[in-house]
Every structure is written in C-alpha cells, then in structure tokens.
Amino acid sequence: MLQITNTLTGKKEEFKPLVNDQVTLYVCGVTPYDKAHLGHGRVYVMFDVLYRLLQFLGYKVIYCRNITDIDDKLLKKAEVEFGDKQQYKKVADKFIHLFNQELQQLQCKTPDHEPRVTENMPEIITFISELVKKGHAYQVEGNVYFHIPSFSSYGKLSKHKVQDLRAGQRIKVDERKKDPLDFALWKAEGKGTFFESPWGAGRPGWHIECSALAKKCLGPQIDIHAGGRDLIFPHHENEIAQSEALHEKLFANYWMHIGLVQINKEKMSKSLGNFFTLEQILNKFDPMVLRYYFLTHHYKSPLDFSLDDLQAAQKSYQKLIRTFENIKCSETISYKEIQDSPVVLKMLDFLLDDLNTPGMFGVLFVHLDFLQNNQKQACLVKSFLSKILGLELKPLPQKEIEITQEIQKLLAQREKARAEKDYKKADEIRDKLRQLGFDIQDKKNE
C-alpha cells in the first residue's frame, strides 16, 4: 500500500484513488520566461518517480502538467527582448523547448497532457463565467476577481486564517476589489489584442488556469495535485477556492509538495545571486548524476544544494554503475518479474512509505555485495532502478571540460604554489578547480 503525506490533512495517509485502478495526477508546470533552475528539476524528477511508481503498482495514470505561456513575466521579457509584449509566444516557445530537452536528459517521461494556457482560452473563460454566475466572482472595469469571503473554507491547505491574511496586507490595496484579498481571474489588457472575453479583451490570471486545465484534462475531482512547496500559498489555496466553489466537492484528495532547493540554507534566488540553472549543472554533470542526487534526498525536506555534495553523489552513483555494469538483462522484463526479487521488495517498501528514496538507496547499498554474486537478482534490481527510478546506469561519458581563462589562471597559480611547496594553497586551488568540474590528478613521480 502506498502512503503519502497529504498537505491538506498534514498526515501521512494510505493512498486510495477515486476510481479503482486509475490515478489522476496534476503537477503545476513552468512559466517559460527564463531557463529552468534546480528547483524545477527536483520537482519534475520527483513526480516522474511517482508517475512511474503508480504505473508499476498497476494503476492507469493520467498525468497532466500545464504550461503558463502567458503571464506578466513573459510579457515583460518579450518587451525587453523584442520591444513588443505581443511577442511573448516567441519567448515561451524558446524556453519550453529548452525545458523539454532538459527534462528528457533527466529521463522524465512526458506527461499525458501538457496543456498551454493560450490554447485553452474557451475553457478558462467558461470557468470564470460560471464562477461569476454563482456569485463567487465579480467584474470591475473589465477585470474579474474571485471574492474570497464567498468561499468559507479559504485557507484550509495553507492553514492561513482570512482575518490574519487581511491584517498582514501591507501594500496599498486595489480599491476596485470588494475585499483586499480578492484575486484576479481575468485581467483587462487594453493595449494589444490578447483574448476576447465577455468582459472585454484581456488575459487570465495565473491561478485560474490550473483549475480550468485540471478540469479539462482530468475532471472536476482529481486524486493527486502536486508542486513545489512555494506553491501552497497563494497558488494552490486559490486553485482550491476556484474549483471547490464551482463544483462543490473536494478538488484534489491528496496534495503533495516538494521541499525547496536551498543554497547555504537560503532559498535559491536570482536576487541573492545563489542561483543555478539546470543548464549550468548539466554542462558539468551527467543528467543521471543529478537525477540520482535529487533522489538521495527525501522529497519533503528542503535540499541544501552544494557542488561538493553533487560530486559525492557522482561517486556513489558510479559505484552503482560498476555493480551493474556487466549485468545483461532483457529490456522486455515485466513489472511482475521484477517484483519477484526480494531485494526489490525491500526497496519498494521504502518507496511505498511516502517515496522514501534515500531509505531505498540505503537498502540497495547494503545488498550490493549480494547482487554482485547473483546475476539473476542483479538483473531484476537493475531493471527496477531503470524503469521505476529512471536511472540508466550506463558508464558516464568522460566530459570534455572547456578550459576557460579562469581555469587556466587557477592551474597556473596552483603550479606556482606547488613549486613554492605551499601545499595548503595548492590544495585550496585544487578544491576550487574541482568545483568547476575539473579534477586534477598529480602524477606520482612528480
């Protein structure tokens, strides 16, 4: 039985789908206005494992991940790059392409549905119209707002109280709103053509797209709704308000959230300058090393990222590669056959316990010696790692490292330090080079 921690109840619960043998999974997707960062990588790798695991357990899974291909950040980027915000599609196309390539490198399977906001305007407009009709939303000057006091259980996911949120409002409130907490479902956009609606030309707010797209692809009620922890409030809270106000039933039975990627215990952010894009990391490390690294951390906890830890993960991943290197097994091996392995069953126990991937690897490492002497078992475990965890276990290609000026300078400084027998300094420089992906091995006779 699969147990997952449900943010809605704050408890670890046994997973039971709405319909026998079928699971609907919705994961909030990216806003493609810039390169994806490590936090995105972590979220989509973790839910890829959940997707694979549910299939392994025999469920027919329908996985939907939206693409926010219009929003303020995209329009701003189009303005900066092309001097015209109407060119936002070009920005979105470029970054979606890059994002898909990176997820492919990370062996993430393509969701069954990847709806783009701009291609689903009728569904979004209908959703908003119905909320207006039911008295949960109102129009002011071409904008439509969701009226929070009309939904009595607002705050149930994030455990915020409406009165506290109101008291916490520091910025000047938009006077057109009936309540300072009301949020936009539709934004009037006079300039440019954007999209026609019953309220005039404009575009949807961010939150409404997920309610409308989840309904379109998966139905009004879904099993698992997921995303990064930072989406709990206000995004997921607002999604609940929209969907449950309209349908008058629970929107998602299970809410799962991935801990944030931090650097030096601080949230990774561009403004703090502690920021890694997936591209930067994938230029230096094999995608499977990054995937393995993500999986060695429990999804619920924050992940304090460092290049040294990633380097250490590479070493331990290589140990797995070596163990399974000469194990030949058929591609067509079935899920049922894989479950015949006692080692797989032990690993599976950990996965079923709230996707405890670090615990699962712990069990695997304990059994490496046994597997080395048991071809048949090793083959089953290798198949499990490749099919369910998405780890290819192929020898890592020797990456050619571009010798930049920075590396050249450090190499020269290190040579000098060594010549002067300042080994402490030489070691420090070696560590710096290692962080840049450049491993130095001195010849013994030197």
Which x/- pattern over 205-224 shows residues binding Zn ion (rule: CB under 5 A)? -----x--------------
Q: Find the shortest distance in angstroms from Cβ 117 to Zn ion.
A: 11
Using the minimum distance from each CB to Zn ion, give the nearer residue, 65 or 367.
65
Instruction: Rule CB under 5 A: choose which of 25, 28, 36, 379 binds Zn ion.
Output: 28
Using the minimum distance from each CB to Zn ion, give the nearer residue, 222 or 371.
222
Q: How many whole angstroms separate alpha carbon 113 and alpha carbon 208?
A: 17
Q: Find the shortest distance in angstroms from Cβ 229 to Zn ion.
A: 13
Specify the 3-state DSSP secondary structure of 177: coil
Q: Find the shortest distance in angstroms from Cβ 27 to Zn ion.
A: 8
Q: How many whole angstroms separate alpha carbon 354 and alpha carbon 291?
A: 18
Using the minimum distance from each CB to Zn ion, give the nearer residue, 28 or 288.
28
Using the minimum distance from each CB to Zn ion, give the nearer residue, 210 or 218.
210
- # chain residues binding Zn ion, by CB under 5 A: 2
- Segment near Zn ion (CB under 5 A), from 21-29, 102-110, 119-127, 171-179? 21-29
| Contact (Cβ atoms closer than 8 angstroms) between residue 257 and residue 228 | yes
| Through-space distance between the first and last CA atoms of the chain, rounded to whole angstroms | 59
Kindly write down the DSSP assignment for every residue of 380-415, as one continuous string. HHHHHHHHTS----PPPP-PPPP--HHHHHHHHHHH
Q: H helices then E strands: how many in the chain?
A: 17, 13
Q: Find the shortest distance in angstroms from Cβ 225 to Zn ion.
A: 8
- Quick check: bond before 234 cis, omega within 30? yes
Specify the 3-state DSSP secondary structure of 128: helix
Would you count residue 256 as binding Zn ion (CB under 5 A)? no
Q: Find the shortest distance in angstroms from Cβ 29 to Zn ion.
A: 8
User: How crowded is the C-beta side of 425, counted as CA atoms within 13 Å?
Assistant: 13
Residues 376-405 that bind Zn ion (CB under 5 A): none
Sheet holding 261-263, edge to edge: 266-267, 261-263, 303-304
Using the minimum distance from each CB to Zn ion, give the nearer residue, 39 or 287.
39
- Segment near Zn ion (CB under 5 A), from 22-30, 77-85, 287-295, 360-368? 22-30
Instruction: Please name the residue that has the structure tokens 């009620």.
Output: 221
Q: Find the shortest distance in angstroms from Cβ 235 to Zn ion.
A: 6
Which x/- pattern over 172-211 shows residues binding Zn ion (rule: CB under 5 A)? --------------------------------------x-
**Phi, psi dihedral angles at 253 (to 5 degrees):** -75, -30
Using the minimum distance from each CB to Zn ion, give the nearer residue, 127 or 292.
127
Using the minimum distance from each CB to Zn ion, give the nearer residue, 67 or 210.
210
Q: How many whole angstroms separate alpha carbon 183 and alpha carbon 105?
A: 37
Q: Find the shortest distance in angstroms from Cβ 307 to Zn ion.
A: 31
User: Binding residues for Zn ion, per CB under 5 A?
Assistant: 28, 210
